[in-house]
Chains A and B, each alone.
Chain A
Amino acid sequence: MLTLSWIRQNLFSSWTNSIISIVIIYFLASIIPPLLDWFIFEATFIADDRTGCTTDGACWAIIGARFYQFLYGFYPTEEVWRVNLVYAMLPFVIISLLWDGIPYKKQFLTFAATYPFLVFFLLYGGPGLTSVASNKWGGLLLTLFLGLGGIIIAFPLSIFLALGRRSKMPAISAICIMFIEFIRGVPLITLLFFGSMMLPLFLPEGLNIDTVLRALVAVIVFQAAYGAEVIRGGLQAMPKGQYEAAQALGLSYWQMNIQIILPQALKITIPALVNTAIGLFKDTSLVIVIGLLDLLGIGRAALADTKWMALHVEVYVFIAAVFFIFCFGFSRYSLYLEKKLNTDNDSENR
């Protein structure tokens, strides 16, 4: 509570504290009003082109004018309901994963598990739906598809790679080590290039995997290698006694890993795993090099429009805000998970 006594205790408890508080308050007072003016009070929200905007504030009209592209890329307007459906279902998936005591928990989880398949069907089309080529996708749709798809599909792969690397069977561990080290040793951008330029050369004539799927594969492979190393770190932190207790009880290798080792190892790697996931989510912007226009790509395309010249700040602020909302969400979700899985009395999370 912001009361007088709180202010005295926390902001003006000593001379140095008071001086620091005054300096900070002065600093905030001098930058916040002009920022608010630029962002909101002097800003123009609706205009037909650059000339319709004032020069004192932001020209958010460009975002509105390009909003469709930011959300859907070049997805055909008559089919856009499919993307909207994908977007509309996402909150239900998130809620069913977050809310423990939700009624009909089982049904919600089944829905969450089928969601990825629904997404593929709705976006690509199939029986009953006209197909939409993935080179028409873009903007947030593409960012989420590659980012979330990459993170989710890569996760189980990372676990297998991490376990494989520590396997006592030399062939399995050698394959996992080579895979991880090779993928981790090259930049994502080269994997994307490799996927889009080189892969078709190796595939038989006529077999054509589309560009977005090739990018998705590159993203998955990249994230799997990084995630595997993070999870391996967690596995290595497990006390030997946990393995021994599980073995002494007669658990098999998989029972031991699934019931005992992974739940604990994954728990301690949550912060690092989310860290790599956030990194990957933002790195999906690199698909611009293979001609796909994600959120950032659409922004750059908007800037190239002569009607909306020199509005870099507005466009990048908008894109940053969208990325921030998602990445902050991941970060909060990881804290929630850590708290939920915490079985000690002591540790504190923020």
Chain B
Amino acid sequence: MNKDSIIYFENVSKWFGDFQVLNNINLEVNKGEKIVVCGPSGSGKSTMIRCINRLEEHQEGKIIVDGTELTGNVKNIDTVRREVGMVFQQFNLFPHLSILDNCTLAPIWVRKMSKADATELAMQYLRRVQIEDQVHKFPNQLSGGQQQRAAIARALCMQPRLMLFDEPTSALDPEMIKEVLDVMIGLAQDGMTMLVVTHEMGFAKEVADRIVFMDEGQIVEAKAPTEFFENPDSERTKLFLSQIL
């Protein structure tokens, strides 16, 4: 484990009942790295990134996030969750709160910020994702693309050290995908550490330092994008690429 490592998976396995979703995962991500995780559905890619903030519990192996090992220890879990932002496929904004309140809630309650400071911080990120004129609306009054951008701003308000994206554009209409990807590209350019589960290969080519290809709960290969697309090692990767490109 090197000193720049922010995520460290060592022989991680997980089962849902008898079904093994993660099979001996080894992965190390350095600070500032952008990783795109892809693979067929059911390959365990979402489960893997959800293990990073303990939305899923791994049963074997070791996961260390930013120096904190994820165990049953609630304190460790809280520490990790404070440092890890997450964006979901279904946005999961809180429908009973305005966009602004969605963004200030966690800074106020978890980071114990004052309301004024939290609002200022939230407005800064909401401007960045270009929905500063919608902040007093409720989530259901926004388009899917706007909601996902708000969800990204909400995660950023906790000023996380790394961001997880679980198929952030899969629930969006095609014309809204670009506005969300643009926000993510901007974030990558600013040096955020990112793990992105996505099928957007254009995004992967442009942004990723490494592409991790998973199948049947295993990491089949992990390579720089040019290598990955032009010179894949395994037959499974070739098959997947031929289907998706």
Residues of A within 8 A of B (CB): 239, 241-242, 244-252, 255, 259-260, 263-264, 267, 341, 343-345
Interface SS majority for chain A: helix
Contacts of B81 in A (CB 8 A): 247-250
Interface size, B (range)? 20 to 34
B96 near A341 with CB under 8 A, answer yes
Q: A245-B92, A251-B106 are in contact. List 16 more A-B contacts (CB 8 A).
A: A241-B92, A244-B88, A244-B92, A246-B94, A248-B81, A249-B155, A250-B78, A250-B81, A251-B105, A264-B94, A264-B95, A267-B96, A341-B96, A343-B96, A343-B138, A345-B140
Closest to A246 in B: B94
A251 near B94 with CB under 8 A, answer no
A247 near B55 with CB under 8 A, answer yes
B74 to chain A, nearest CB (A): 9
B110 near A251 with CB under 8 A, answer yes
Would you give the 0/1 interface string for B101-117, flagging 1 where the beta carbon is closer than 8 Å to chain A? 00001100110000000
B141 at the interface (CB under 8 A from A): yes
Query: Residue among A242, A249, A267, A343 with the most chain B CB within 10 A?
Result: A249
A241 to chain B, nearest CB (A): 4
Residues of B within 8 A of A (CB): 53-55, 78, 81-82, 84-86, 88, 90, 92-96, 105-106, 109-110, 138-141, 154-155, 158
B140 near A249 with CB under 8 A, answer no
A244 to B88, CA, bound (A): 9
A345 to B140, CA, bound (A): 8
A259 near B55 with CB under 8 A, answer no
Q: 7 tightest A-B contacts by CB?
A: A245-B92, A249-B106, A241-B92, A343-B138, A248-B86, A250-B81, A250-B110
**A249-B105, A249-B158, A344-B140 are known contacts. Are A241 and B110 too (CB-CB below 8 A)?**
no
Contacts of A249 in B (CB 8 A): 81, 105-106, 110, 154-155, 158
B105 near A248 with CB under 8 A, answer no
A251 to B110, CA, bound (A): 6
A56 to B81, CA, bound (A): 77
B109 near A255 with CB under 8 A, answer yes
Query: Residue among B85, B105, B109, B158 with the most chain A CB within 10 A?
Result: B109
A250 to B140, CA, bound (A): 24
A250 near B96 with CB under 8 A, answer no
A241 to B78, CA, bound (A): 18
Closest to A345 in B: B141
Contacts of A267 in B (CB 8 A): 96
Q: List 6 A-B contacts (CB under 8 A).
A: A242-B92, A245-B86, A247-B81, A249-B154, A250-B81, A259-B105
